[in-house]
Structure 1
């Protein structure tokens, strides 16, 4: 379930999408041209700050997430804000913050759209969370998950 698997499907993913408050979703967003924006510590922390703000505003309940160099995986319980406005807000606010903080970053940060996967009741939430946070290991970025700085899960 690597994020490159989702990238080629683009706008077709939006058809049939539903937002159901209280439902668990795995959300994936990819940077424009898969630029490795989040190798930059400050850029990654600005994105994480925007995710935490949405959590604190009770728009989502963040269960697990990882910020990879060129994409984000975010396992959430959806709050009152529907999926599309939630992701629009996250992507817009993070792009503004990152562009403002960096002289090297201007313009579009994210690809259009996002991928969402609504978890079915029979899916093991912990297995999905493990998939999310293990991304840096599978990508060969670190030998141990604890060595990767940009992830979290409520089960810790």
Structure 2
């Protein structure tokens, strides 16, 4: 079956996952991680993509982002590949691809998926056993949202600002969100959406997307279509 074109739309949230080829490391030390995030910051600014949350794991990258143009995500990730992969290969004496094909992404309706995906992304390092607390991980946006540091890569969306009137209120509310944890069924739903490219949102949201793209927005039923009963 032919692969569906990626659905990327200006002004909408997108959950993006980019994995290493054969799940190999995409960054092997802090120098690599600093280089990748610095390149991401520059490429996002160049192609006008707002990054709301991220987590750089050993073998994959998670992003929550809003592009200003339909092709913004693709151009940003292409530029990131050109800038980072060549330097990574040269530094580590390797050749060939680093990524597992193209990145995966899906549009999301901001309410309720903005905070759900932000939480899922920032819980990733803790879930993987890399840190005891999400805010302890140096290579995600969790410390920024918890008020431990200011991250120049991050553009906080209106939905995050709505958590409180002051930075302290927002940081406290976000700490509670992270401590609440994430149901496994919710995590799997968000991952499946991003990997398969199916948008998440209300019927009204999907109708809006349908007016902007002629690509299918939901999976087709499996199996052969049911035959209609013969008329008598």
TM-score, scaled relative to structure 1: 0.80
Q: Does the alignment pair 1:51 with 2:40?
A: yes
**Whole-angstrom CA distance in 2 between matches of 1:129 and 1:64:** 6
| Higher relative contact order, structure no. (Cα contacts within 8 Å, ≥ 6 residues apart) | 1
- Is there any run of 5+ residues in structure 2 with no aligned partner, and where? 148-232
Structure 1 pair 42–105 and aligned structure 2 pair: CA distance change class (3 A) = farther
1:85 paired residue number:
75
Q: Is the 8 A contact 1:59 1:81 kept in 2?
A: no
Deviation for aligned residue 1:113? 1.1
The structure with the largest strand share of the pair is 1
- Is there any run of 5+ residues in structure 1 with no aligned partner, and where? 1-10
**Whole-angstrom CA distance in 2 between matches of 1:18 and 1:37:** 25
**Whole-angstrom CA distance in 2 between matches of 1:55 and 1:144:** 27
Deviation for aligned residue 1:85? 2.9
Q: Is the 8 A contact 1:26 1:73 kept in 2?
A: yes
Give the secondary-structure state (helix, strand or coil) at the position aligned to 2:27.
helix
Q: Is the 8 A contact 1:22 1:78 kept in 2?
A: yes
Aligned residues: 143
RMSD: 2.1
Out of 80, 85, 100, the position equivalent to 1:95 is 85
**Whole-angstrom CA distance in 2 between matches of 1:105 and 1:44:** 17
2:54 paired residue number:
65
